[in-house]
Each structure stands twice: as structure tokens, then as C-alpha cells.
């Protein structure tokens, strides 16, 4: 099967999807042509996959991407697979005109206040109209699917929407290596060490964690945070921490390829997100055996419910603090439960399930 894969914004989640899903053995009979803007971060993805037939690097403009898309669609691939809403919209009309089947994987969700006012209503109508041209719309999780159907009820007609939950390379996170982050940062053994592994943007709720740390710093349970996040407003966040006198409680580490060891180096992974589509981080932490404390926001709740993970109402710093205190009081028992859950988490979240389901869609559409 000759598949054209298109992405306008191949960020962390989409890059990881490419590496995990297209690297699975079931995808060995798929020949992929990638069309993405030229970025250094994508080069290692291309090189790490054995089924890449061609890589086309566009300039970082919509026009350049669209021009490259037209040229490649005229070469008649068996189907085109777009990733992200922007790529889906760009691909929709030319795919219909050239009669190339189109799978659109959506890696985000629609927010309640996204389509306010007349301009918002027009934008909503336009997006819905273009998405309706897709052969298959593939949200990356149950919550994302429900969000799609609630936003655009008519898109659910005719089995156009096919949910396939995100997955991870479980075997990579089943190791027992531990990074001694306490020693690296001189954090007291008695203190609670939380891990923040998200981007520094409003969506990830870093500010809520900062507020919790500030309120707990003078208590009998101060919280220290190991930050492995990146991008967004990291410099602004660091400056704000210094202004609030919280620098000693937040330790920033460079990006690492040894994520399992880093995850196992913290007591608990904290995800105070405001919304998610279907996040990989809690899956990775649970397979590594590290407890997770996450908000009950869309996307995240789906992953951590029915697991040993802890949950708190999205946006509530009081409940976040209460759950941190509860974890500290019951840490040995919760940790034991999380370690026992590792095999089940490894099976539940393994990317093999994702790849097989996607391959089945490919096969059905190219017969």
C-alpha cells in the first residue's frame, strides 16, 4: 500500500505517533511518502522507520505545503493520511477532486469557547463542511471521538468517524532503570518529588502546580518538582518562579532519551492539564510503574480512569493539594499497586493495538 502522510504541525504528539505506529511490524507492507515542513526534529523519525519510500520537505508555509500536496496527489497514492486539523482541511478538497481516499487523524479536541461570535460560527461551519469530505475521520481516543460528534453531530453519520486510541511502545518502558534525580538536585529524601513532563503552555496547567507548591512550601510537606518540559513559555515561567521565590523548588532538566529512567526517578507524575486529546505521558508513566496524579479533563480522564492513578477536578488547586497530601500519606501502598499494574498497563496501552486498527482501515480503503 502506497500511503501519502501529511502533517502541517508535526509537534511532539504527532512525531511520536509516526515513530510508534508506523514503526510497528504490521505496517511493514505500507510504503510511506511523508510530506511535512522541514524540521530537524522530523529527520530522526524518517531515519528510524524502515518503510519510508520518500520524504518531501516543504517550506513552513501553507502555500508550500499545499503545492507539494497537489504534486504528490497527482502521483495517485492509494490513500492520503493527514494528521492534525490544519492538514485535514488542506487535504480535503484536492483529495476529493482527485478521488484519493482520505484518512484524517485528529490529534486535538474542540473547546467550548472556540467558535464564539459570527466569525466563530463561520469558522465552525467551514471546518465541518471540509471534514465532511474525509473518507474516515480518526480521533485518537474515546473522549476525542465524543467531542467530535458533539461538535459536529452529522459527521457521525455513515460510520465516518473511527476512533483508534493512542498507544506507546510498552516494551521500552518496562525497564527497571531509575535516574537519581534527588541526588542530581540535592532534594531531601523526606520531601515529595513530583515530575512535570509537559510543555510550558496554558493547556498543560503548569501554573496550577506552581500555585500548589507555593501554598505548600512552608508546610510540613513541601513539594519539589523535576521539570522535563520544553517549548511554550518556559523562559517566562522560569522568570515568574524566580520572582515568586520558588526557584529552589523547581529543577529544570534538559530533554532526555531515557524517559523510563526519568519517570521512575520521581515519586509521582503530575498532570494538571486543562484539556488533552489522548495523552501518551500517563500511559508511559503507568507502564514504568510510576504513580500518576492527573486532572479529570477531557482526554486525560479516559486514560487514567480504572487504573491506580489519582485524579482531581480540573482547575482546583485545593483538590490538587489534597491529593498530593493523600499520596504522601499512602505512598508505599499506592506505589505497590502501581508496580503491580504494570503488566496490565503495558498490554492496555501498547501501540500494537493502534497500529493493527489503523492497518485494518488502510486495507479496507485500498481494496
Nearest to 231 by CA among 248, 210, 266, 206: 206
Identify the pLDDT of residue 137: 97
Nearest to 270 by CA among 328, 324, 336, 189: 324
How far is the C-alpha of 118 from the C-alpha of 26, rounded, in Å?
46
Q: Tell me the average pLDDT across 123-152.
A: 95
How far is the C-alpha of 200 from the C-alpha of 250, rounded, in Å?
13
Q: What is the mean pLDDT of the chain?
A: 94
Identify the pLDDT of residue 202: 86
Tell whether the model's pLDDT for residue 221 goes beyond 90.
no
Tell whether the model's pLDDT for residue 229 goes beyond 80.
no
Tell whether the model's pLDDT for residue 232 goes beyond 90.
no
Partners of 51 in the β-ladder: none
Identify the pLDDT of residue 351: 97
Identify the pLDDT of residue 12: 81
Helices 85-97 and 62-73 cross at an angle (nearest 10°) of 40
Identify the pLDDT of residue 41: 82
In eight-state DSSP terms, residue 161 is B
Q: Tell me the average pLDDT across 81-104.
A: 96
pTM here is: 0.93
Q: Tell me the average pLDDT across 172-193.
A: 93
How far is the C-alpha of 125 from the C-alpha of 154, rounded, in Å?
12
Residues in the chain, overall count: 367
Runs of H (alpha helix) within the chain: 12-21, 40-48, 62-73, 85-97, 117-131, 142-151, 181-185, 206-216, 234-243, 259-263, 281-288, 300-304, 317-329, 331-340, 342-348, 351-366
Tell whether the model's pLDDT for residue 301 goes beyond 90.
yes
Q: Please give the domain boundaries of the chain with CATH numbers for all domains.
A: 2-167+350-366 (3.40.50.2000), 171-348 (3.40.50.2000)
Q: Tell me the average pLDDT across 160-165.
A: 94
- Taking only the tens place, the pLDDT of each residue in 239-297 is 999 999 999 999 999 888 899 999 999 999 999 999 999 999 999 999 999 999 999 99
Amino acid at each position: 500500500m502506497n500511503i501519502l502522510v501529511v502533517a502541517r504541525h508535526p509537534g511532539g504528539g504527532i512525531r511520536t505517533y509516526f515513530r510508534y505506529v508506523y514503526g510497528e511490524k504490521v505496517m511493514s507492507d505500507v510504503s510511506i511518502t511523508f510530506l511535512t515542513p522541514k524540521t530537524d526534529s522530523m529527520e530522526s523519525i524518517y531515519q528510524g522507520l524502515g518503510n519510508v519510500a520518500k520524504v518531501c520537505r516543504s517550506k513552513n508555509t501553507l502555500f508550500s505545503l499545499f503545492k507539494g500536496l497537489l504534486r504528490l496527489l497527482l502521483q495517485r497514492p492509494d490513500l492520503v493520511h493527514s494528521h492534525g486539523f490544519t492538514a485535514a482541511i488542506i487535504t480535503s478538497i484536492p483529495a476529493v477532486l482527485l478521488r484519493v481516499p482520505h484518512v484524517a487523524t485528529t490529534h486535538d479536541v474542540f473547546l467550548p469557547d472556540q467558535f464564539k461570535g459570527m466569525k466563530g460560527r463561520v469558522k465552525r461551519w467551514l471546518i465541518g463542511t471540509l471534514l465532511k469530505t474525509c473518507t474516515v475521520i480518526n480521533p485518537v481516543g474515546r473522549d476525542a471521538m465524543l467531542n467530535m460528534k458533539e461538535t459536529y453531530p452529522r459527521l457521525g453519520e455513515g460510520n465516518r468517524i473511527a476512533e483508534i486510541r493512542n498507544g506507546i511502545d510498552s516494551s521500552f518502558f518496562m525497564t527497571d532503570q531509575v535516574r537519581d534525580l534527588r541526588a542530581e538536585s540535592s532534594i531531601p529524601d523526606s520531601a515529595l518529588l513530583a515530575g512535570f513532563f509537559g510543555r510550558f503552555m496554558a493547556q498543560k496547567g503548569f501554573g496550577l502546580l506552581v500555585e500548589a507548591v507555593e501554598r505548600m512550601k512552608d508546610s510540613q510537606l513541601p513539594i519539589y518538582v523535576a521539570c522535563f518540559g520544553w517549548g511554550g513559555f518556559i523562559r517566562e515561567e522560569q522568570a515568574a518562579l524566580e520572582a515568586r521565590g520558588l526557584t529552589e523548588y523547581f529543577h529544570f532538566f534538559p530533554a532526555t532519551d531515557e524517559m523510563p529512567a526519568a519517570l521512575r526517578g520521581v515519586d509521582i507524575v503530575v498532570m494538571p492539564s486543562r484539556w488533552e486529546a489522548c495523552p501518551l505521558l500517563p500511559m508511559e508513566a503507568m507502564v514504568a510503574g510510576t504513580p500518576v496524579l492527573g486532572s479529570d479533563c477531557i482526554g486525560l480522564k479516559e486514560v487514567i480512569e480504572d487504573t491506580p492513578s489519582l485524579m482531581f477536578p480540573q482547575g482546583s488547586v485545593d483538590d490538587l493539594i489534597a491529593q498530593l497530601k493523600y499520596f504522601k500519606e499512602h505512598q508505599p501502598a499506592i506505589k505497590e499497586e502501581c508496580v503491580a499494574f504494570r503488566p496490565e498497563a503495558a498490554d492496555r496501552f501498547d501501540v500494537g493495538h493502534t497500529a493493527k486498527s489503523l492497518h485494518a482501515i488502510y486495507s479496507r480503503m485500498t481494496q
